[in-house]
């Protein structure tokens, strides 16, 4: 290459600082950019030591870097990431950041090896640095948000029961609370079908309705009884939402559950007679109410029995209320034990019980009533007290007010009482 | 990308290259830092870029912090040098270079920067001298990172092969161990292999 | 001076036809090959023995009594420093040339003190080898 004709012009027109020094820091060249920015002219500094002008530079480091550059014939660098302000230059630019002094990138290149001189080049990277600083701030913000998000996710995970499944019902994810509630470890559930949680006590129609709803892209809500890993039954309120992708294709189901054990318990308490643990009158009334309202054929074929413990008052008077309570409990147990699965029994009040025998003819109902009566007769309260019941029964007539049904059953009971007790009577 | 493989002989030559380069680097470090370094055999291997994460994890302690210096070099044999040195080694180096008990973080960064400068330029210069190409070095960037954050996915996408150089530089009582990962593109690695083949051919002729 | 030695060396070569025994110790196969090539270039009638670490080198040295040993420093199992000490113990007149990537001044001083005839920085080439034969070895 031909020698440059005007190297001075070239170096002076560069928008970077360039100077040449030797291992003793004596300056032999100082370009115009430096003169302008440092207010030190080339005439002032050339031939003198850099130390006289910039005493704050760490000269031990500089010397090492100069030596490295010379020995290895390779450029050496100052770290551009840390706050390098090699030659302090006040920035002209009005800036929002705290960067008052020019941020510099400094490269030391071998210049004339035989004279042990190097060229120090200074690049202004303030704006780059500012960008970097603001980026760091942004990243910090994002990290903070992420942390909050993670924290929130953590809260959700620990406090809400969530299960995710594929469209065919294979479990893909569960929250910690879900696992805890049903007594599973996460890895035991993932890959399994969601149906492992079914208790089997709910009618298939419920699952059909559920499936029908969610496969039509709607959410389904309802109460279901699920099984824990140890086989315990738990009632949960569930809401199952189908998740669709952008093209409207079903990709997964999200199910959120809520523990309603307490609600179920309260509901149970509300309709249970606390002494005998059978239904109370409130429940039976409700039942009657729905029957007379709906008048569905399957529900209207039933017989009502009213059973009353004979001479209950004298049991109370003779043996005390505690024995009376025992008598009520024993009779309730006996009655329940004599009934079929679908029959309903409730304590009507005092020593009276009411029973609904479903889907039954009058004759068969009378046989059951007779069996009840006989069973109560053989029951010994507190192991030695004999006890009997009188029973009145009648069949529900389609379309009638249930009050009339009760009235007839009650009449039959009264007649049984009047006819010497320990007796089953029917009023048609 | 995965078709560029090195056979046993090629690896052997590369190891010898690296050995000589690390030897030069050690000597330079010794001279410039004014300390004698016991040289150990550097472990050299060539891996696919996709293995970078795995390799880094294998070579470092995942629970420690590291000073990570990245230096780009451009030219026909272009690439990036990643110099990874543990916090402990860096502190040793910093206190040795600055002659102080507890060097400041900026001091340590600067010390690591100097070491990186010397080691990478010795190695890359040696390689490029053999390859008869010129490279330009760019200012290295330093980062203080947790082991898990060392690998940048951008790196993985940009390069195809890594020359892994695990070396230990022992200076006086200060143990300074460092890992050097030279990330290269296909073109560079092919020209390196061609050169190695030429050397092997000469040897067997 | 060099010219003179060079000349006498050629004369000696024509006088003695007995093979020169040389042991090359290096963990790199190709480094050994490269060294052998450069020795052959100077001394074609040479019988070579190879060892890939210091321990093997000592065994070969005991058995073959080579006139010259080229020894690498950084090797697995037993490094060059240790091997050098052992070889000098076996034969204090052994001619060991250390060929190493470790080019630190201190390393050089250390091997010379241990009895090496010279230390030559890697990579080796014909010119370096010729100088070794001229200046450092008696063969």
Residue ranges of alpha helices (H) inside A99-223 are 126-159, 176-182, 186-189, 204-214
The position carrying tokens 């293995």 is B51
Cβ contact A342:A335 at 8 Å = no
User: Can you give the pLDDT at residue C30?
Assistant: 86
Is pLDDT of A82 > 70? no
> What is the distance between the alpha carbons of residues A85 and C112, in angstroms, rounded to a whole number?
47
Highest mean pLDDT among A40-49, A60-69, A335-344, B131-140: A40-49
Q: What pLDDT digit, counting tens, does each position of C92-131 carry?
A: 889 999 998 888 888 889 999 999 999 998 888 888 888 8
* Spatial CA neighbour of A426 closest among A414, A401, A403, A409: A409
Give the list of residues 6+ apart from residue A212 with CB closer than 8 angstroms, or none. none
For A135, the 3-state DSSP assignment is helix
- The pLDDT of residue A214: 86
pLDDT at A98: 67
> Which own/partner contact pairs does A276-282 have at CB distance under 8 Å and 24+ positions apart?
A276/A328, A276/A329, A276/A332, A276/A333, A276/A347, A277/A332, A278/A332, A278/A335, A278/A336, A278/A345, A278/A346, A278/A347, A278/A353, A279/A344, A279/A345, A279/A346, A279/A347, A280/A346, A280/A347, A281/A346, A281/A347, A281/A348, A281/A349, A281/A354
- Residue A107's alpha-carbon distances to A50, B78, C85, in angstroms, are 16, 20, 46
Q: What is the pLDDT of residue B144?
A: 81
User: Cα(B60)–Cα(B145) distance, rounded to whole angstroms?
Assistant: 12
Q: Which of A77, A105, A106 to mutate to test the interface with B (most CBs of B within 10 A)?
A: A77
Report the pLDDT value the prediction gives residue B115, as an integer from 0 to 100: 83
- Which CATH number covers residue C129? 3.40.50.2300
Q: Which two tokens stand for residue A109?
A: 């290149």
pLDDT in tens, C29-72: 888 988 998 998 888 888 899 999 999 999 999 998 999 999 99
Residue A221, pLDDT above cutoff 70: yes
Angle at B63 between CA B62 and CA B65, to 5 degrees: 95
Whether residue B28 and residue A79 make contact (CB cut-off 8 A), yes or no, is no
Q: Counting runs of H as helices and runs of E as strands, what totals does chain A give? A: 15, 17
Residues of A in contact with B113 (CB under 8 A): 77-79
Q: Give the Cα separation of A240 and A167 in Å (integer).
A: 12
Q: What pLDDT, on a 0 to 100 scale, did the predictor assign at position A125?
A: 85
Three-class secondary structure of residue A17 per DSSP: strand
Give the mean pLDDT of B75-103: 80
Confidence of residue C3 (pLDDT cuts 50, 70, 90): very low
- Contact indicator for B147, B57 with CB cutoff of 8 Å: yes
Checking if the pLDDT of A127 tops 80, the result is: yes
Q: Is the model's pLDDT at C11 over the cut of 50?
A: no
Question: Which subunits sit against A, judged by 3+ Cβ pairs under 8 A?
Answer: B
pLDDT band at C12 (very low <50, low <70, confident <90, very high): very low
How far is Cα A210 from Cα B86, in angstroms, rounded to an integer? 59
If contacts are CB pairs under 8 Å, which of residues 16-55 in chain B contact chain C? Answer: 16, 19-20, 22-24, 26-27, 30-31, 36-37, 39-41
Count: domains in chain C: 1
Looking at per-residue pLDDT, the higher value among B159 and A316 belongs to A316
Q: Is C75 in the B-facing interface, judged by CB distances under 8 Å? A: yes
pLDDT for residue A83: 63
Residues B89-99 have a mean pLDDT of: 77
pLDDT value for A371: 93
pLDDT of residue A24: 92
| Closest alpha carbon to A333 in A267, A381, A288 | A381
For residue C118, the enclosing domain spans: 2-135
The answer to whether A116 and A70 are in contact (CB under 8 A) is yes
Alpha-carbon gap, residue A413 to A421, rounded angstroms: 9
CA C125 – CA B5 distance, rounded (Å):
28
When the candidates are 3.40.50.300, 3.40.1550.10, 3.40.50.970, 3.50.50.60, the CATH number that belongs to B8-204 is 3.40.1550.10
Sheet containing strand A220-227, edge to edge, reads A171-174, A161-165, A250-259, A233-244, A220-227
- Give me the domains of chain A, ranges plus CATH numbers: 7-124 (3.30.450.20), 160-265 (3.30.450.20), 272-426 (3.30.70.270)
* pLDDT tens digits along A26-49: 999 999 999 999 999 999 999 999
For residue B162, what are the β-bridge partners?
B47, B183
β-pairing, C118-121 vs C95-100, is parallel
Q: Quote the crossing angle between the two packed helices A321-338 and A362-378, to the nearest 10°.
A: 140
Q: Does the bond joining A397 to the residue before it have cis omega, within 30 degrees of 0?
A: no
- Across the interface, whether the CB atoms of B39 and C37 are under 8 A apart is answered no
ipTM of predicted complex: 0.76
Query: CA C11, CA C106: separation in Å to the nearest integer?
Result: 37
Instruction: For residue C8, name the pLDDT band (cuts at 50, 70, 90).
Output: very low
- Pick from A398, A403, A407, A340: which is nearest to A369 by CA? A340
pLDDT at C5 over 50: no
Domain extents in chain B: 8-204
Of residues B103 and B46, more confidently modeled: B46
Chain B residues with beta carbon closer than 8 angstroms to that of C38: none
- pTM as predicted: 0.57
Q: Tell me the shortest Cα–Cα distance from C54 to chain B, in angstroms.
A: 14
Phi, psi of A243 (to 5 degrees): -110, 125
Which residue in A64, A81, A83 is closest to B142 by CB distance? A81
Provide the shortest C-alpha distance from residue B201 to chain C (in Å): 11
Beta carbons of B108 and B91 less than 8 angstroms apart: yes
């Amino acid at each position: 290459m031909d020698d440059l004709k005007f190297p001075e012009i070239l170096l002076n027109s560069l928008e970077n600082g360039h100077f040449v020094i030797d291992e003793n820091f004596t300056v032999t060249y100082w370009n115009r950019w430096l003169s302008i920015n440092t207010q030190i002219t080339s005439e002032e500094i050339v031939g003198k030591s850099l130390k006289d002008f910039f005493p704050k530079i760490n000269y031990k480091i500089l010397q090492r870097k100069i030596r490295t550059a010379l020995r290895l014939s390779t450029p050496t660098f100052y770290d551009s990431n840390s706050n390098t302000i090699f030659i302090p230059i006040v920035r002209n630019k009005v800036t929002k950041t705290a960067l008052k002094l020019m941020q510099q990138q400094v490269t030391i290149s071998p210049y004339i090896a035989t004279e042990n001189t190097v060229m120090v080049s200074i690049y202004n990277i303030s704006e780059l640095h500012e960008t970097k600083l603001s980026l760091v701030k942004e990243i910090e913000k994002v990290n903070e948000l992420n942390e909050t998000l993670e924290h929130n996710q953590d809260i959700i995970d620990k406090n809400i029961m969530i299960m995710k499944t594929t469209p065919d019902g294979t479990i893909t994810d569960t929250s910690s609370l879900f696992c805890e509630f049903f007594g599973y470890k996460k890895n035991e559930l993932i890959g399994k079908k969601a149906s492992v949680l079914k208790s089997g006590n709910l009618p298939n129609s419920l699952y059909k309705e559920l499936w029908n709803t969610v496969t039509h892209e709607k959410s389904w809500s309802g109460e279901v009884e699920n099984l824990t890993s140890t086989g315990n039954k738990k009632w949960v309120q569930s809401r199952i939402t189908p998740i669709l992708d952008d093209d409207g294709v079903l990709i997964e189901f999200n199910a959120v559950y809520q523990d309603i054990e307490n609600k179920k318990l309260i509901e149970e308490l509300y309709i249970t007679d606390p002494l005998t643990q059978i239904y109370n009158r409130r429940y039976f009334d409700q039942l009657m109410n729905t029957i007379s309202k709906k008048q569905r054929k399957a529900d209207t074929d039933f017989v009502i029995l009213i059973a009353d413990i004979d001479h209950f008052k004298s049991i109370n008077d003779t043996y005390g209320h505690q024995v009376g309570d025992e008598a009520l409990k024993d009779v309730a147990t006996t009655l329940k034990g004599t009934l079929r699965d679908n029959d309903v029994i409730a304590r009507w009040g005092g020593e009276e019980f009411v029973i609904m025998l479903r889907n039954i003819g009058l004759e068969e109902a009378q046989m059951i009533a007779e069996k009840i009566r006989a069973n109560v007769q053989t029951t010994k309260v507190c192991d030695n007290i004999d006890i009997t019941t009188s029973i009145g029964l009648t069949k529900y007539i389609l379309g009638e007010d249930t009050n009339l049904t009760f009235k007839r059953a009650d009449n039959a009971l009264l007649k049984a009482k009047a006819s010497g007790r320990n007796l089953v009577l029917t009023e048609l | 990308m995965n078709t560029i493989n090195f056979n046993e002989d090629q690896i052997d030559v590369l190891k010898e290259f690296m050995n000589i380069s690390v030897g030069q680097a050690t000597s330079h470090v010794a001279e410039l830092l004014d300390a004698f370094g016991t040289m150990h055999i550097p472990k050299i291997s060539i891996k696919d870029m996709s293995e970078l994460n795995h390799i880094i994890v294998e070579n470092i302690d995942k629970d420690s912090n590291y000073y990570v210096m990245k230096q780009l070099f451009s030219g026909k044999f272009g690439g990036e040098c990643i110099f990874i040195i543990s916090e402990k080694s860096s502190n040793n180096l910093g206190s040795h270079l600055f002659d102080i008990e507890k060097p400041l973080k900026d001091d340590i960064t600067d010390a690591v920067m100097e070491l990186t400068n010397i080691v990478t330029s010795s190695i890359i210069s040696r390689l490029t001298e053999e390859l008869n190409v010129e490279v330009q070095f760019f200012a290295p960037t330093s980062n203080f990172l947790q082991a898990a954050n060392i690998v940048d996915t951008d790196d993985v996408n940009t390069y195809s092969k890594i020359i892994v150089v695990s070396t230990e530089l022992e200076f006086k009582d200060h143990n300074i161990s460092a890992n050097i990962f030279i990330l290269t593109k296909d073109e560079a690695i092919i020209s390196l292999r061609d050169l190695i083949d030429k050397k092997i051919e000469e040897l067997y002729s | 001076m060099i010219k003179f030695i060079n000349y006498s060396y050629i004369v000696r070569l024509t006088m003695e036809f007995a093979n020169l025994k040389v042991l090359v110790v290096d963990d790199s196969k190709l480094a050994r090959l490269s060294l052998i090539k450069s020795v052959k270039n100077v001394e074609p009638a040479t019988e070579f023995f190879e060892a890939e670490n210091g321990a093997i080198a000592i065994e070969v040295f005991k058995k073959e009594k080579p006139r010259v040993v080229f020894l690498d420093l950084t090797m697995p199992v037993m490094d060059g420093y240790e091997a050098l000490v052992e070889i000098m113990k076996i034969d204090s007149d052994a001619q060991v040339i250390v060929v190493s990537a470790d080019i630190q001044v201190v390393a050089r001083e250390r091997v010379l003190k241990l009895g090496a005839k010279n230390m030559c920085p890697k990579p080796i080439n014909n010119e370096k080898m010729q100088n070794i034969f001229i200046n450092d070895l008696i063969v």
